[in-house]
Chains A and B, each alone.
Chain A
Amino acid sequence: MTKRNIMHNKNSNAEVDLSLRQFIKNLGYTAGGLALLTTVPWLQSCTPEKLAEIKNQKARVAILGTGSRGTYHLHNLLKIPHAQIVALCDNYQPNLNAAAALCPTAKTYTNYHKMLESKEIDAVIISTPLNWHAPMVLDSLAAGKHVFCEKSMALTMDECKEIYDAYLKTDKVLYFGMQRLYDKKYIKALQMIHSGVIGDVVGMRCHWFRNHDWRRPVPSPELERHINWRLYWESSAGLMTELATHQLEVSNWAMKSVPESVMGMGDIVYWKDGREVYDSISLVYRYKNGVKTTYETLISNKFNGMGEQILGHKGTMELAKGEYFFEEAKPAPGIMQLINQVEEKVFSTIPVAGPSWRPEVSGEKKPLYVMGEKSSVNSGLSMIGAEDDGSEEMLSAFCQASITGEKAPNIVEECYCSTILCLMGNEAIKQQRKIDFPEKYIIPYIKF
């Protein structure tokens, strides 16, 4: 992507969307047809041509849950040409009013069952506390709506399985907010990993660090559990389901398999303010071949930010930064250009000729960039959402699917696996022992 594109993107959501779509189209092209796209099947319906087919059509969308994340989606929906927000629903009136002010033409509801009765709604976007995901997803599908639900999938493993079973039966489109699946730098980096650029994957390190109490202001004490739902087990599975889901999903994507077991610890180290969920977690997930993902999260120190490192025997991929490093040395810049040209099926001059070249003596490791230049980096500090992280693109793809009815394979499966893994992590902490992937939750998609 050129610099001009990046600047342009900041101003226009439609451009962001088209840039991903063009990228997807190019993926198919570079692989000589569908060969490469088959490795990312959920993207097959997202080419610019497929978008053109639904020109002038609009998905009639309802937002269920108009808190911070719901409002983030609302802003994005307003910029998607093939989406029309027709309904808003929340049981917290101040948030509902704020959303209604942004979208005055939408009908408002405080009871989602009532909203689901409406024949005017094609699709529901759910961004509510985790304990509400399962009933709302199941009810929405049963009401004949297409559904986009925020991650994680649900509060318990049983609920996840129930959603998965409903997904197998429904003819509706079901998405979960695993936006890394729609983030160009992740897509490209994962394809590089799978083509062997960093060698065999031998380990993974994922972390998410913030220095913030993770609270929202509460206007009156009886609203504490309603507003700070993230902090209590009845409505949340804590940092695992709010943050780790994305990163465990990426680990599985890199490994093309799912860990068999997890061990670890979790505690409330710093924010001893009456919350129930841990503010410090360290876990080790083990894949069948012995490769491990170490997962760390802490919300009283932000020095390390957010990151996913895929460690290969020849190099390291820093997914969140879109950077990679070789263990021993990096290809000379001109040679790297040549390799990229051939990979992208283009030809041009490479700057490699000159009088004697001297090897660099500096031991400092300089990054190579997955996208050819520095990518915008999600610091992980925002509690709502980051710019250019695939969220807008995923939402646009969902709205398109709500018009065409075309399902996107793997999204539900990926979210299912990573949510179960998050919940297994919490179990390992609570039971202070190794937890194996429970047999009753193994689905055919899973390869260990």
Chain B
Amino acid sequence: MTTIYYNYYASSSLFHGSILNIMGTRLDLVMIVENLAAGVRIWDGLVAEAKSLDELLNRFSANSEITKINHQASQQPVAVSDELWEILIDCKLYHKLTLGLFDISLRNFDKVELHTEQKTVFFKNSDINLDFGGFAKGYAIEKLKARLLNEKITQAFINFGNSSIGCIGTHPYGENWSVSVENPFNPTQILGEVFLKDNCLSVSGNTPANSKHIIHPETGKYVEGKKITCISTTNAAIAEVLSTTFLLTTSQEKSVIRENFANIAVYDEKEYYAQ
């Protein structure tokens, strides 16, 4: 089955592209572009980018770089690509800034050794697995947005599985891109609205079908409950980090983390309790 398709709506110069089953979810792009040919050319570039990130970061994909690392890094240091190296360094920084709550090792990031000179990674514990589930989509949105901006696209909306959204400019007939957050436990109920313009939104929380997917790194237990956190900011990766983190924090931790991020990002946070 082909998992990629697109449509061009000539009367409104609107291009819609979709990739199903990428990074465990689906990607939708809506952009305003002058013609179909230009749209397809840009879209092809985005698809290549998204696929290569999937190859890099998807631990459920047999051939991805991260799968290779997860298999080998507990036996010996494994050399990593430049791009993955940068990502690991960023994740280490966010791990520190979030008091250890943002943790791509899901357990104990301190046991992940990063050797700066050789750019290798080594797991000091054999049961460590790196997982970019709470980061990759935001990172991908940043890269896709950069490509779109480079192509002089001024109005675009990227939706990565509803939980990670990025946009450029505004809706063609609005002052922003306005999205509502649905209550996953009661889809007819709207929890709130978020207005986006040249920025990104990340939403974290449980859903009825998927109630065990966020692990608290200190306790090793799955996060329970129906809290939903939303972060909107200019950097989609930071939005991902904070929306996951704020799902786990106590109020004391939260105020420290806010301070830690004060110089890094300006963001809006919202919290909902779904019923």
Contacts and interface: CB of A to CB of B under 8 A. Distances in A.
B228 to A, nearest CB: 6
Contacts of B230: 353
A195 B20 CA distance: 24
Interface residues of A, number: 36
Contact of A339 (B30, B162, B190, B194): B30
B43 to A, nearest CB: 14
Interface string B174-194: 100011111110000010011
A342 B14 CA distance: 8
A347 B178 contact: yes
A98 interface: no
Contact of B201 (A338, A339, A342, A353): A353
A351 B28 contact: no
A267 B21 CA distance: 50
Interface in B93-124: none
Contacts of A342: 9, 12, 14, 30, 32, 171-173
Interface string A335-359: 1001101110111111111111111
Contacts of A348: 174, 178
Nearest to B202: A353
Interface stretch (A287-295, A324-332, A419-427): A324-332
Contact of A355 (B165, B171, B194, B228): B228
A32 to B, nearest CB: 9
Interface string B152-164: 0000010101110
Contact of A343 (B11, B36, B193): B11
A36 interface: yes
Interface in B18-50: 18, 20-21, 25-26, 28, 30, 32, 36
A205 interface: no
A196 interface: yes
B207 A354 contact: yes
Contacts of A69: none
B182 A351 contact: yes
B11 A195 contact: yes
A314 B7 contact: yes
A347 B173 CA distance: 5
A357 B162 contact: yes
Given A314-B7, A342-B171, A349 B193 contact: yes
A339 B16 contact: yes
A30 interface: yes
B240 to A, nearest CB: 11
Given A335-B30, A359-B21, A354 B14 contact: no
Given A352-B165, A354-B184, A356-B162, A195 B173 contact: no
Contact of A350 (B180, B201, B204): B180
Contacts of A334: 159, 162, 179
Contacts of A341: 171, 173
Contacts of B26: 332, 357, 359
A442 interface: no
A394 B12 CA distance: 29
Nearest to B247: A355
Nearest to B205: A355
Interface string B225-253: 00010100000000000000000000000
Contacts of A195: 9-11
Given A314-B5, A332-B159, A354 B178 contact: no
A351 B180 contact: yes
A279 to B, nearest CB: 42
Interface string B63-102: 0000000000000000000000000000000000000000
Contact of A329 (B18, B157, B165, B209): B18
B1 A331 contact: no
A319 interface: no
A423 B10 CA distance: 37
Contacts of A347: 171-174, 178
B180 A353 contact: yes
B2 interface: yes
B221 interface: no
B181 A353 contact: yes
A350 B36 CA distance: 25
A54 interface: no
Nearest to A198: B7
Contacts of A160: none
B168 interface: no
A327 B7 CA distance: 12
A383 interface: no
B210 interface: yes
A121 to B, nearest CB: 43
A353 B194 contact: yes
B190 A346 contact: no
Contact of A354 (B21, B163, B173, B174): B163
16 contacts: A326-B5, A328-B1, A332-B162, A335-B159, A338-B171, A339-B30, A342-B32, A347-B173, A347-B178, A348-B178, A353-B180, A353-B230, A355-B184, A355-B204, A355-B210, A359-B21
Interface of B: 1-3, 5, 7-12, 14, 16, 18, 20-21, 25-26, 28, 30, 32, 36, 157, 159, 161-163, 165, 171-174, 178-184, 190, 193-194, 201, 203-207, 209-210, 213, 228, 230
Interface of A: 30-31, 36, 191, 195-197, 314, 326-329, 331-332, 334-335, 338-339, 341-343, 345-359
Which 9 A-B residue pairs are closest in the complex by CB-CB distance? A347-B174, A357-B162, A355-B205, A347-B173, A349-B178, A357-B161, A353-B181, A353-B179, A335-B28
Given A328-B5, A345-B173, A354-B183, 4 more contacts: A332-B162, A335-B18, A343-B14, A354-B203
